Structures are given as structure tokens and as C-alpha cells.
């Protein structure tokens, strides 16, 4: 895929992030699910690590190698002509330059990077360490000439890290460091009450990614909270699995 195509797709993906008018990036895991989402009318997609790993019988939390991930991404980008972002977990122990190079070679123009280090016993990166990684990814992307869209994620909420009383404060501080380092959007992953989400979107300086349940949530409920990006994590695959299981059980 030529650099002009990748540059254009990266620009398109970035422009779709509008607080209050969120882009919905259905979380897909293979060429079939990607085509399903594009045929439904979506302009961009994200590839989730959990459904991707499930689809090949591997565990989440970097149970796949980066090379295995890239092979699947290449299949997806060959199947659909829209911008693709990829959840690269905590980086698979790879150098930032290798992460950017691999994603671009596979045709992807965005990434999620989280602050849980699966290759090191699941420790949580410090806020500064995570920001430094975000900055290194931004520098590598800039050197490539493609503005890869960096979605900086924190796991403070899903880990229930530390005291709940100041968790939102700590998440905001952590994500602000990531923003200053060169992130394009911020992902305080977890299911949040409306007042918490309003605080996150009002105090954070970049579009905020919310996670949604595609079979349960009201799509119109996220814009008024100031959300700029919506993805489904593992929940689209799980919803489809539940429907398929019910269908199959009629024949078992």
C-alpha cells in the first residue's frame, strides 16, 4: 500500500474524532467481521486484541505474537478500503519503531497502546513511563511520514487500581501526560457512570474513547457526554456469539 493512501487514511481517521459527535469504530477481528461492519456503513474500524486472539484460539494479554497480529491485520486491510486502527496491547515487547513500521506495512493507520505491561507480569507502567512510550510512538510515526492515530489507554479503572476516591483524578493526570507526549485520543477503558464520563471529557484535552455494548447501549447517549470515539472491545463478538449459540442449540 502506497504512502499517499496510508497518509490519507490516517488523516481521515483523525478527522473523524469529534467530541460530542463521536466516531463509532466497530471492533472487528478478521476480514469477515470487517466486511460486515463496512457493509453496514461504517467509515473506519478498530481491531480488538481480545476478539482477535479469541478468533485464533489464543489468550488475550499478548497471547499472540506481534507477527501473528500483523498477518491478521494484513488480511483485514486487504479486504476493506477504510482506515484501520489496531489494539497493540502494551506493545508485545517491541520497540516503538518496529510497532509503527509493522502496522504501516500491514496497512493500519492507528493504534491503541495500554499501560499494563503483559510481558512483565502485568505491571502498570508509571504515568511518565507510559507518556514516554506514547512520545516514542509519535516520533516513530512522524519519521514515517504518516500521522498514525495514537489512542493512549489507561487501565486504572478495569484494574480497580488504588483508592477509588482519587482514581478519576489519577486517570486524568495520567492521560494528560499522554496527551502532552503526542497522543491523538485518550482511552480511560471501562464502563463509566454519566457523571464520571462528563468529567473525563470536560477535563481531558483530547477526544475521549468510550466502550459500548453494541446490543444494549443507546448510540445517541454518548454524544451528550462529550465522547469523541466509541469502540466495542470484545462485546460485539460476544453478542454475536450469544446469538449464534442460541441458533445452533436448536440444531444440536
Q: Domain ranges in the chain?
A: 3-249
3-249 folds as: TIM Barrel (3.20.20)
Q: What length is written for the chain?
A: 252
**Cα–Cα distance, 191 to 98 (Å, whole number):** 32
Which pTM does this prediction carry?
0.97
Q: Is 121 exposed, middle or buried (0-12, 13-18, 19+ CB in 10 A)?
A: exposed
C-alpha cell at 225: 457526554
What is the structure's pLDDT at 19? 98
| Beta pairing partners, 208 | 186
Contacts of 64 (CB under 8 A, 6+ apart): 49, 52, 53, 56, 58
The pLDDT averaged over each successive group of 10 residues in the chain (252 residues) is 90 98 98 98 98 97 97 98 98 97 98 96 97 98 97 98 97 98 98 98 98 98 98 98 97 97
Helix (H) or strand (E) holding 8: helix 3-15
What is the structure's pLDDT at 2? 65
Amino acid at each position: 500500500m502506497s504512502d499517499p493512501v496510508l497518509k490519507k487514511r490516517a488523516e481521515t481517521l483523525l478527522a473523524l474524532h469529534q467530541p460530542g459527535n463521536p466516531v463509532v469504530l466497530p471492533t472487528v477481528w478478521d476480514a469477515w467481521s470487517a466486511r460486515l461492519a463496512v457493509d453496514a456503513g461504517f467509515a473506519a474500524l478498530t481491531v480488538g486484541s481480545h476478539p482477535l486472539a479469541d478468533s485464533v484460539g489464543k489468550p488475550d494479554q499478548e497471547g499472540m505474537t506481534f507477527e501473528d497480529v500483523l498477518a491478521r491485520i494484513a488480511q483485514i486491510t486487504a479486504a476493506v478500503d477504510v482506515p484501520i486502527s489496531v489494539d497493540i496491547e502494551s506493545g508485545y515487547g517491541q520497540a516503538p519503531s518496529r510497532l509503527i513500521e509493522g502496522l504501516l506495512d500491514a496497512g493500519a493507520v492507528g493504534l491503541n497502546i495500554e499501560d499494563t505491561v503483559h510481558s512483565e507480569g502485568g505491571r502498570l507502567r508509571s504515568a511518565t513511563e507510559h507518556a514516554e512510550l506514547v512520545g516514542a510512538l509519535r516520533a516513530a510515526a512522524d519519521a514515517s511520514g504518516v500521522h498514525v492515530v495514537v489512542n493512549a489507554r489507561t487501565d486504572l479503572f478495569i484494574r480497580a487500581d488504588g483508592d477509588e476516591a482519587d482514581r478519576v483524578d489519577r486517570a486524568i493526570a495520567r492521560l494528560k501526560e499522554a496527551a502532552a507526549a503526542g497522543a491523538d485520543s485518550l482511552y480511560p477503558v471501562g464502563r463509566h457512570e454519566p457523571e464520571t464520563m462528563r468529567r473525563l471529557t470536560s477535563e481531558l484535552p483530547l477526544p475521549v474513547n468510550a466502550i459500548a455494548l453494541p446490543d444494549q447501549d443507546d448510540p445517541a447517549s454518548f454524544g451528550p457526554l462529550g465522547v469523541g470515539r466509541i469502540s466495542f472491545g470484545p462485546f460485539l463478538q460476544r453478542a454475536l456469539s450469544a446469538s449464534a449459540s442460541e441458533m445452533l442449540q436448536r440444531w444440536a
